[in-house]
Amino acid sequence: MDAETMPAVESATQDGGAKRRQVMEGARTIFLSEGFDGASMNDIARAAGVSKGTLYVYFDSKEQLFEALIREGKKEQAERLVFPGEPGDARELLGGFGRRLIELMTRPENIAYVRIVIAATAKFPRLGQAFYEAGPCHGRGNLAAQLVKLCDTGVLEIEDAERAAQQFIDLCKSGVLNPVLFGVTETVDPREIEVAVDAAVEVFMRAYGAKHSV
């Protein structure tokens, strides 16, 4: 352990999670402004107001730090997509989920992360895997669990809940996500999200709604 790292370890032990959050905030600022390739651990340390040794107490590499940011961000998003204890009305549940999902997905910061991940994945596949596991995969699994509950109540008829969940998410994104992702527009009008999600719910219920529910 070098002379710089020793006091950093002691400080990290004393400060606990506060110091780690400080590092994460500095890293978020640099990654969003410089991209993955343009960011350096020196820049992140300066932005976070810590020594470079402190960074390495928490993260072994820039890749590991960026992966932690991805997982933390997606965890926060997942907490906003909590479903009620009981599935209730299918259209209401699907519509609420779809609107919250697309609103989160099209936020400028999230779009920036998607672009950074896409650019870095060819060289660092683990980053793409982390983004997929923490985001799309996690959200699909949560929705699939709700679809199973709705099937149990006789509202839906679905053989493969995971596939159906992915289809609904793709329907919600249709015509809304790509224009923002590719820079055609900076933001999405909430009314456009409403229209897109309502259409997705209608198509989904026609495909999977039990005959008496459609």
* Residue 137 neighbours by CB distance under 10 Å: 15
The answer to whether residues 44 and 92 belong to one domain is: no
User: By 3-state DSSP, what share of the chain in percent is helix, strand and coil, each rounded to 5?
Assistant: 75, 0, 25
| DSSP symbols for 7-28 | HHHHHHHHHTHHHHHHHHHHHH
In this structure, the answer to whether residues 16 and 121 fall within a common structural domain is no
**pLDDT value of residue 75:** 77
Q: What residues make up the domain containing 13?
A: 5-60
CA distance 88 to 213: 13
- Is 21 among the domain residues? yes
**Considering the domain boundaries, does residue 131 fall inside one?**
yes
Tokens matching residue 187: 């933001």
Q: Which residue has the higher pLDDT, 11 or 118?
A: 118
Place of tokens 């060289």: 123
Q: What is the mean pLDDT of the chain?
A: 87
Assign residue 93 the CATH number of its domain.
1.10.357.10
Residue 71 amino acid letter = R
Does residue 192 share a domain with residue 127? yes
**166, containing H or E segment:** helix 161-173
pLDDT in the model for residue 197: 97
Residue pair 143/151 in contact by the 8 Å Cβ criterion = no
pLDDT bucket at 102, cuts 50 / 70 / 90 = very high
The structural domain count of the chain equals 2
Of the candidates 63, 92, 97, the residue with the CA atom closest to the CA atom of residue 80: 97
The answer to whether residue 187 is domain-embedded is yes
- What's the rounded mean pLDDT across residues 126-147? 88
104 neighbors 80 (Cβ within 8 angstroms)? yes
- For residues 55 and 76, state if they share a domain: no
Q: What's the pLDDT score for residue 3?
A: 47
Task: Determine, yes or no, domain membership for 213.
Answer: no
Among 13, 43, 60, residue at a domain's last position: 60
Same domain assignment for residues 17 and 94:
no
pLDDT tens column, 33-45 = 999 999 999 999 9
Q: Which of 41, 60, 79 finishes a domain? A: 60
Q: Read off the pTM.
A: 0.82
> Are residues 153 and 104 both part of a single domain?
yes
Q: Which tens digit of pLDDT belongs to each residue from 56-100?
A: 999 999 999 999 998 888 777 766 676 766 667 999 999 999 999
Domain assignment present for 214: no
* Residues 115 and 189 placed together within one structural domain of the fold: yes
Residues 54 and 137 in one domain: no
Question: 56 and 80 share a domain?
Answer: no
Structural domain includes residue 77: yes
What pLDDT score does 96 carry? 92
CATH of the domain at 43: 1.10.10.60
Q: Answer whether residue 4 shows pLDDT above 90.
A: no
Taking the C-alpha atoms of residue 182 and residue 200, their distance in angstroms, rounded to an integer, is: 22
